[in-house]
């Protein structure tokens, strides 16, 4: 018994020390001299083979720690919060720490899935650790269990978190003049809320003032796991006023729901023709769903239902076959299917050395709905499937969706969309100081019986992008292959870490049903990304690139300097039902 207590105490101290050291841990300096270029190349392409047995042993070690306490009663819950640069003696770090408002203990307690008196569930603890890590204002987290000396059937829980610096600014400059600057705090007053103010100015006309847009977001209101958002303001040709409440699925047996009302006005670029139009609309959106765990199948059955009403008060010309995107209509749509989602802890995938929870599993959905509006009523039918798993050679993800409207009067399917996506990234390659990871994404979208107008043709965009291409091209069918090689470097300046990347993107787009007979385009380039994981700042990306087609070089964005959000994480949880996007 005494040895167990000592072991528990040592585990606790070791875990606490590990958490404090982890965020500030730097790779040890290589005592060897500079590596030769050939050695660098060899080490970079020499893959680290995935070892499922070792991964399982590591997972068992992690699970065994909490599994030792499975079934015991949870006693007191202690929360320890670490500042952004905890333990650093650098002047700038100490200054930032003094300016930072630490996350309030109550906010962290609101995010806990376990409470005093509950029976300890190791799976629930792991899920809770992932949930806390997903918050924008937390860099890392650890959860420890320590049995009481006088009654080992009761364990006290210790939650240790490390904050992230959350005050930042974004600048959006338009070469035509109207631009904006946004100042925001993702942990306003330590509440975990996001408060932002965007100011619009026209720098070409004596910095003419264009207005302000204010947004306030509240995650997990009062420990209910409901999120709230309020937005209000205007700037030049756009405005937004609205409110949103939503709750996502968290556990295998859970519910999700949401309600929002939004008024928006925007200047929309329509290609073709090359013009801009003003649009003004309101949308009321209500949805809800329920998931039920099926232990025998190790998955969950779920269903969702949604109603939305979309009404335009300002728009371009419309008819029964023109600009269906701008049709005022109401719709009821539902989905039913199965899903399974688990997580594997990884690093150096989308982040720069911090722990990353990568989802694997699957989700299926059958969709059916009914829409009524100013140009008649129609049914909608569709289905979706997505899955992703870790293999010996990396992570593979696939997704496909097929959906179509059914004309009630003519009995014909139209505005049909088929989309497919394959995602792959390798295991970390290289045994030296410059590990490499390769990313591949293949997107394909095809449309049948599309109508005329906005969003009835495809282009290269953020969904399927040819980076560096300036010209606008269109078609009803599109396929894009994005490839990227990322070299994670040991270089850093004031904890801003750097990664080099090279890319080659290939695209086919046109109206031919045989995708390979459509026009071919390609872009190639290289760049560097800079990121400090202790700060909320977006990743700074500096990129050089050029675009080509079968006739040679094309008009290109040769140089690009931007800040971008981290890639959206892959998830397999149920979401509100919606028609398959034709984007």
List the chain pLDDT tens, one digit each, 583 residues: 444 444 444 444 454 454 444 434 333 333 333 344 334 333 433 344 444 445 445 555 665 688 889 999 999 999 999 999 888 888 888 898 999 999 999 999 999 999 999 999 998 998 999 999 999 999 989 999 999 999 999 999 999 999 999 999 988 888 788 899 999 999 999 999 999 999 999 998 889 999 999 999 999 999 999 999 999 999 999 999 999 999 999 999 999 999 999 999 999 988 766 788 999 999 999 999 999 999 999 999 999 999 999 999 999 999 999 999 999 999 999 999 999 999 988 888 888 878 888 999 999 999 999 999 999 999 999 999 999 999 999 999 999 999 999 988 778 999 999 999 999 999 999 878 899 999 999 999 999 999 999 999 999 988 888 999 999 899 999 999 999 999 999 998 877 899 999 999 999 999 999 999 999 999 999 999 998 888 887 788 999 999 999 999 999 999 988 877 656 678 999 999 999 999 9
Rounded to whole angstroms, the Cα distance separating 113 from 133 reads: 14
Q: Are residues 266 and 411 in the same domain?
A: yes
Q: Are residues 466 and 342 in the same domain?
A: yes
Matching residue, tokens 């970079």:
44
Closest to 122 (Cα-Cα) out of 85, 77, 157: 157
Assess if residue 105 is contained within a domain.
yes
Q: Are residues 147 and 290 in the same domain?
A: no
Assess if residue 185 is contained within a domain.
no
Of 133, 163, 193, the residue at which a domain comes to its end is: 163
What is the pTM assigned to this prediction? 0.84
Dihedral of CA atoms 191, 197, 198, 200 in degrees, nearest 10, equals 180
Q: Are residues 420 and 554 in the same domain?
A: yes
**CB half-sphere exposure, 504, CA atoms < 13 A:** 2
Determine how many CB atoms are found less than 10 A away from the CB of residue 101.
14
Domain count, the chain: 2
Closest to 435 (Cα-Cα) out of 365, 490, 380: 490
Assess if residue 570 is contained within a domain.
no
What CATH number does the domain containing 252 carry?
A: 2.40.160
Q: Are residues 132 and 277 in the same domain?
A: no
Q: Are residues 260 and 390 in the same domain?
A: yes
Domain span at residue 532?
A: 248-564
Of 163, 185, 211, the residue at which a domain comes to its end is: 163
Q: Are residues 157 and 261 in the same domain?
A: no
Assess if residue 226 is contained within a domain.
no
Assess if residue 72 is contained within a domain.
yes
Matching residue, tokens 């709905």:
369
What CATH number does the domain containing 109 carry?
A: 3.10.20.310
* Helices and strands of the chain, counted as H and E runs: 6, 24
Assess if residue 182 is contained within a domain.
no
Rounded to whole angstroms, the Cα distance separating 14 from 12 reads: 5
Assess if residue 65 is contained within a domain.
yes
Assess if residue 87 is contained within a domain.
yes
Q: Are residues 149 and 261 in the same domain?
A: no
Q: Can the peptide bond before residue 143 be classed as cis, meaning omega within 30 degrees of 0?
A: no
CB contact at 8 A, 235 and 241: no
Strands 154-163 and 73-82: parallel
Closest to 143 (Cα-Cα) out of 134, 151, 130: 130
Helix (H) or strand (E) holding 16: helix 2-21
Q: Are residues 157 and 60 in the same domain?
A: yes
Strands 519-531 and 496-510: antiparallel
Dihedral of CA atoms 554, 559, 564, 568 in degrees, nearest 10, equals 30
Q: Are residues 440 and 538 in the same domain?
A: yes
Of 163, 193, 223, the residue at which a domain comes to its end is: 163
């Amino acid at each position: 018994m005494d040895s167990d207590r000592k072991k528990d105490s040592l585990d606790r101290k070791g875990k606490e020390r590990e958490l404090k050291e982890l965020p500030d841990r730097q790779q040890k300096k290589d005592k060897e001299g500079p590596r030769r270029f050939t050695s660098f190349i060899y080490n970079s392409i020499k893959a680290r083979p995935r070892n499922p047995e070792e991964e399982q042993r590591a997972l068992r070690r992690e699970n065994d720690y909490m599994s030792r306490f499975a079934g015991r009663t949870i006693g007191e819950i202690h929360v320890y919060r670490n500042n952004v640069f905890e333990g650093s003696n650098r002047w700038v770090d100490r200054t930032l720490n003094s300016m930072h408002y630490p996350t309030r203990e109550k906010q962290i307690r609101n995010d806990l899935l376990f409470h005093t008196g509950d029976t300890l569930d190791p799976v629930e603890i792991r899920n809770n650790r992932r949930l806390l890590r997903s918050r924008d204002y937390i860099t890392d987290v650890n959860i420890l269990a320590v049995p009481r000396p006088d009654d080992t059937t009761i364990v006290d829980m210790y939650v240790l978190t490390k904050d992230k610096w959350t005050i930042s600014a974004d600048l959006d400059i338009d070469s035509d003049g109207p631009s904006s600057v946004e100042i925001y705090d993702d942990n306003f007053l330590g509440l975990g809320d996001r408060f932002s103010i965007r100011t619009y100015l026209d720098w070409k006309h004596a910095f003419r003032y264009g207005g302000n847009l204010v947004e306030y977001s509240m995650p997990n209101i009062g420990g209910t796991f409901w999120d709230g958002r309020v937005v209000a303001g205007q700037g030049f040709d756009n405005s937004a006023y609205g409110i949103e409440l939503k709750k996502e699925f968290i556990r295998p047996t859970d519910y999700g729901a949401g309600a929002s009302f939004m008024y928006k006005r925007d200047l929309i670029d329509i290609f073709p023709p090359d013009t801009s139009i003003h649009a003004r609309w309101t949308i009321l959106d209500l949805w809800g769903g329920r998931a039920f765990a099926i232990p025998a199948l190790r998955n969950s059955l779920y269903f969702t239902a949604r109603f939305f009403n979309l009404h335009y008060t300002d728009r371009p010309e419309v008819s029964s076959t023109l600009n269906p995107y701008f049709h005022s209509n109401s719709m009821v749509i539902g989905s039913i299917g199965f899903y399974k989602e688990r997580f594997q802890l990884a690093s150096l995938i989308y982040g720069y050395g911090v722990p990353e929870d990568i989802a694997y599993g699957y989700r299926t959905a059958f969709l059916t709905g009914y829409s009524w509006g100013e140009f008649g009523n129609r049914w909608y039918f569709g289905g979706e499937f997505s899955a992703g798993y870790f293999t010996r050679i990396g992570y593979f993800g696939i997704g496909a969706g097929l959906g179509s409207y059914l004309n009630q009067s003519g009995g014909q399917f139209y505005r049909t969309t088929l989309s497919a996506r394959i995602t792959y990234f390798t295991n970390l390659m290289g045994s030296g100081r410059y590990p490499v990871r390769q990313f591949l994404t293949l997107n394909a979208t095809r449309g049948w019986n599309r109508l005329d107008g906005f969003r009835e043709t495809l282009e290269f965009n953020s969904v399927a992008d040819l980076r560096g291409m300036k010209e606008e091209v269109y078609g009803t069918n599109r396929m894009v292959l994005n490839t990227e090689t990322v070299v994670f470097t040991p270089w850093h300046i004031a904890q801003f870490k750097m990664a080099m990347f090279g890319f080659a993107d290939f695209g086919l787009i046109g109206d031919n049903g045989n995708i390979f007979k459509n026009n071919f385009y390609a872009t190639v380039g290289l760049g560097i990304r800079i990121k400090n994981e202790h700060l909320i700042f977006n990743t700074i990306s500096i990129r050089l690139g050029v675009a080509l087609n079968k006739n040679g070089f094309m008009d290109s964005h040769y140089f690009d300097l931007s800040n971008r959000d981290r890639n959206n994480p892959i998830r397999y949880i149920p979401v509100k039902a919606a028609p398959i996007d034709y984007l």
